[in-house]
Amino acid sequence: MSYRLGVDIGGTFTDLALLDENSGGVTIHKLLTTPKEPAQAVLQGMIELLAMAKAPVQEITALIHGTTLVTNAVIERKGSLCAMIVTKGFRDVLSIGAENRYDQFDMRLRYPEPLVSRPLIFEIDERIGPDGKVRKALDEAELRAILTKARAAGAEALAVCLLHSYVEPKHEQRIKEIATKEFPGFYVSASSDVLPFMREFERWTTTTMNAYVARMMDLYIQKLESGLQREKFAGRFYIMTSNGGTVTPDTARTYPVRLLESGPAAGALMSAHVSRLLGLPDLLSFDMGGTTAKGALIVGHEPQKKYELEVAHIHEHKTGSGFTVKIPVIDMVEIGMGGGSIAGIDERGVIKVGPRSAGAEPGPACYGQDGQLPTITDANLLLGFLDPDFFLGGRMKLDRAAAEQAIMGRLGKPLGIEAMHAAWGIHQTANEGMAQAFRLHAAERGHDYRSFAMTAFGGSGPLHAARIARILRIPHVVFPVGAGVMSAFGLLVSPLSFETVLSRTLAIDGLDDKTLDAAFAAPIAEATAFLERAGLSRKDIRIRRRLDMRYRGQGYEIEILLPDPSGKSTRVSELGDLFGKEYERVFSTSFLREPLEIVNFKVEAVGPAPKMQAGYRLLRQAEGAALKGHRMVYQPESQGLVSCPVYDRAALKPADMLEGPALIEEKESTSIINAGDRITVDAGMNLVAEIGVAERR
């Protein structure tokens, strides 16, 4: 026997999925996250899951881990005290930023404070020019004096960010060498290592964030490795990165900033897998957990990617109000609306939901852990959408009276409305907020959801998906097998991968094929080396090459994927057509006679995708009738409670068909279909909902 184990830590719950690689059978588990010691929930969940599956730990060949710890550390400012060394004259780059106003008419704009305070930003009198030539040599005596001051101030981490180091990194590398060797215990990050893009501000914010969370991530991985060793785990241990690939613990320690969207990326990856299984090329991947909701576009069976994201927004998730980070990442929109998101009344006197979350401790009021604030989960319980005696399959009882008290105290009484109407206001406010964010995200990328389907997952996603799909006019919603822990499933299909970049501006005019191939040689060797150190052979590694190109004189560029059919390199003569087609797709026009230039050479090395059988199944099918009974559920169309059938998902069979309104329960989540909708169980036991089918008859 051999097993693969996926473990995803969320802000509220930790999800686990154990795949039997021989039979395709899957056992799943969900438990509360332990915020103070996140490794505790991972180890406890693994022990409980293995007991459920009657599987020995020695037969786990690989454990793949996704985590939101890096994101939470940045948002909550729980990283290390960090120092920074910059080229003389550039001390205030982090404070000046991009000089963009994210709201032109708001006179009270705020921006996040840099992760490095100004007294710990040290200038060093060196200079490398944009051509890579040394204009002023590094003074190592000055460097040692700076490092001594930084350590005396209590700094545990160091970000090294020098001008033009993406062209010539030797000054940064020398600083890193001296700091690491002569000042042991320093967690040092050099911008030429982290991701050597041009543009100082983005490169430097990314490097400071990498240094800021490095110690925290190192200690966490140490605890997890020690705990796994105590449990006699002897398989491979991998960690998911933001681009949907996995890396070794050593790589994760070196580049912790690449773990920012670790867990959410796994969910999008599994949505792409589902899209291939069901023949649905275009999907909205909707993941709603306990803390946030995420939406990602799956186009042509592939999740869309980008090389920049913002985290720790301080103003309603508006672009420009967070930290800009340059890393390879699956393109998704994330908003502060999860099951634990707190509801209140805003300055206009209307219901507001999120972005603050009750998290796992104390959690929603209904958890009975002294939480006093109303949340989305409290509202869903009051509306009848959740069974207080069947939460987590009955392992956790919910307190309906506490939920009602919290909702009435914060919303019902101040607004002069009944608790049920206040609860519906919370639920629908969340739906509208998520739909608005998803619609804007798709519109900015030129997509129309009316031709898409939706995958809904996470502990809270299936509760809200049908209403959101109706708002967006999405005709079909898929509730996949194991929807409540689908991000853990996504970890099981993630290949080893590593991406890197070379920033180098080259005009297309006069460029030959040999020079183009030579420019890719160094990043290909670097990316491949990471996978070879993880145990892969060169013949098992695929290379994907991309170029950032622009018309000469433009300030920003667009990405071109080089097709390289049959392993042959794309020729320079093809670049103009490739760029013209992509430019026209993005901007609806192109100027083919204008001169072009390359700005960045991007390389992704990818290992073999783990085999996950198309017929994977949960090992807990129930016997007997699927109908469990009826429950009083709030229906806005009736302005009150109506009797609604409740089904056991584990007892449903392929080809079963259910008309809404109905609830379909499983241990990790509950799926809702509304009046006028219909669900069919497909051959793979996925629930496929037709939205508004009654209206189209």
Asked whether residue 561 carries a pLDDT value surpassing 60, the answer given is yes
> In the predicted model, what is the mean pLDDT of residues 639-663?
93
Q: Identify the band that residue 22 occupies on the pLDDT scale cut at 50, 70 and 90.
A: confident
Asked whether residue 164 carries a pLDDT value surpassing 90, the answer given is yes
Whether this model's pTM surpasses 0.95: no
Q: Identify the band that residue 71 occupies on the pLDDT scale cut at 50, 70 and 90.
A: confident
User: 496: how many CB neighbours lie within 10 A of its CB?
Assistant: 24
Contact present, 294 and 287 (Cβ < 8 Å) = yes
Q: Identify the band that residue 322 occupies on the pLDDT scale cut at 50, 70 and 90.
A: confident
pLDDT for 197 equals 87
Torsions phi, psi for 690 (to 5 deg): -100, 120
Asked whether residue 352 carries a pLDDT value surpassing 90, the answer given is yes
> In the predicted model, what is the mean pLDDT of residues 280-299?
92
> In the predicted model, what is the mean pLDDT of residues 132-147?
96
pLDDT for 263 equals 79
pLDDT for 102 equals 78
Asked whether residue 1 carries a pLDDT value surpassing 80, the answer given is no
> In the predicted model, what is the mean pLDDT of residues 618-624?
70
DSSP letter for each residue of 382-435: HTTSS-TT-GGGGTS---HHHHHHHHIIIIIHHHT--HHHHHHHHHHHHHHHHH
Tens of pLDDT, residue by residue over 510-534, are: 899 899 989 999 999 999 999 998 8
pLDDT for 579 equals 92
Asked whether residue 360 carries a pLDDT value surpassing 70, the answer given is yes
pLDDT for 134 equals 96
> In the predicted model, what is the mean pLDDT of residues 36-47?
92
Q: Collapse the DSSP code of 17 into the 3-class scheme (helix H, G, I; strand E, B; otherwise coil) and give the result.
A: strand
Asked whether residue 224 carries a pLDDT value surpassing 80, the answer given is yes
Contact present, 242 and 266 (Cβ < 8 Å) = no
Contact present, 480 and 454 (Cβ < 8 Å) = no
pLDDT for 613 equals 56
Residue 506 and residue 307: Cα distance in Å, rounded?
A: 20
Highest mean pLDDT among 357-361, 579-583, 691-695: 579-583
Q: Identify the band that residue 665 occupies on the pLDDT scale cut at 50, 70 and 90.
A: very high
193: CB partners within 8 A, 6+ apart: 169, 172, 176, 254
Q: Identify the band that residue 438 occupies on the pLDDT scale cut at 50, 70 and 90.
A: very high
Q: Identify the band that residue 616 occupies on the pLDDT scale cut at 50, 70 and 90.
A: low
Residue bearing the bigger pLDDT, 22 or 136: 136
Asked whether residue 424 carries a pLDDT value surpassing 90, the answer given is yes
Tens of pLDDT, residue by residue over 225-244, are: 999 999 999 999 999 999 98
pLDDT for 591 equals 74
Question: pLDDT averaged over the chain?
Answer: 90
Domains of the chain: 75-218 (3.40.50), 262-338+435-489 (3.30.420), 341-427 (no CATH), 497-606 (3.30.1490), 626-696 (no CATH)
